[in-house]
Amino acid sequence: MNGIIGTWMLCVAASAPAATWHEDYTEALQAARGDRKPLLVVLHNPQQAQQKVSQVTHVTKEANSLLENYHVCRIDVSTANGKRVAGVFRATSFPYTVITDRNAQKIIFRKGGAFTDTQWSETLADYRRGSKPIAMASFSQPSSFGGPDCPT
């Protein structure tokens, strides 16, 4: 009985819907603005191994879950339209990834080059709310201050 339940749970987990990638930038932009979600745009040449983002086609379960926070768009820069979109983003090397704010008005992240799976997941997690992550400053007190309380 446990084997049947385990197999069923595995099938349910494996059948989680994958992110739907827009191929049309204008359509993706309108959808992102309408839903107030950040827009993730990947400009790549899928025919050139060094110019594609493998995470677009081989999505881990964690990344797929994070992609639900975005409208996602992949642009093939080997096409005339792709070259035009790349020009708008001033992208000259590929792959090139852009994330907008949740209003799809401002670019809050851009990166030229490939991602490791870890970098991809971390980037998706950091920008999923459509805002730049807040850097946490660290502060170390000199020992002359005494304990952790504020001086009086």
Mean pLDDT estimate for the chain: 80
- In angstroms, the Cα distances linking 80 to 85, 86, 87, 90 are 9, 10, 11, 15
The whole-number pLDDT of residue 147 equals 40
Strand partners, 44: 76
When comparing pLDDT for 57 and 75, which is higher?
Answer: 75
What's the mean pLDDT in 103-120?
A: 92
Rounded Cα distance between 142 and 22, Å, is 53
| Least confident window among 20-24, 59-63, 73-77, 125-129 | 59-63
Task: At 122, list the tokens.
Answer: 């971390």
